[in-house]
Amino acid sequence: MKKFPVIFPRAVLLVLGAVLFSLIQQKASAQISPETEQAFREAKIRIPKQQMVPADFSLPLLNGGSAALSAYKGKVVVLNFWATWCQPCRDEMPSMETFYKRFKSRGLEILAVDGGEDAATVLQFIRNNGYTFPVLLDRDNKVNSLYGIRAIPTTFILDREGKIIGQIMGSARWDNPKMTAAFEALLKAR
């Protein structure tokens, strides 16, 4: 009986693995339409290689009560981690407010998670600037740690099913035409 070299089975396994990986990747990225994917790339929104379901959490809201991430399923969520002392965070907030006002009625929600600061400091900053999007208080940074936040601002974009489909590291211009086009495409897709 003729023996095949050991390389043959390894090559077959590598090819099968590559095919399987390709199918998994196609299934994972099938969540967003090609139009939305292209618009995200143009807006410099990083698209994860695999869809991720974010960890649910509940945090106090700055204006009273509390909010759980899971309560926003059915909406597109911009989950932004920030702090008042962070200059890049402060720089992006005016455009984030404009963005929020533009898309809120179309099913978009911004959840701004402040890490480690007291409510009085955050409330003064939000009121002084007239921001209207919901602000959550992560006083002990447990949610920041849960999401692996190492630098702020860091933003995750969740689709209507509650899956993470995009990420932005650093400050963004939320009211620029490419960002607007990306969210127009995302909100249009059902």
pLDDT digits 0-9 by tens, 46-99: 999 877 889 999 999 999 999 999 999 999 999 999 999 999 999 999 999 999
Q: Which fold has domain 32-188?
A: Glutaredoxin (3.40.30)
Domain boundaries, the chain: 1-30, 32-188
Mean pLDDT for the stretch of residues 15-21: 37
Quick check: helix, strand or coil at residue 154? Answer: strand
If phi > 0 it is left, if psi is from -120 to 50 it is alpha, else beta; for residue 6 that is alpha
d(Cα 119, Cα 136) in Å, to the nearest integer?
10
pLDDT in tens, 22-43: 333 333 443 688 999 999 999 9
Q: How far from each other are the two terminal CA atoms of the chain, in whole angstroms?
A: 59
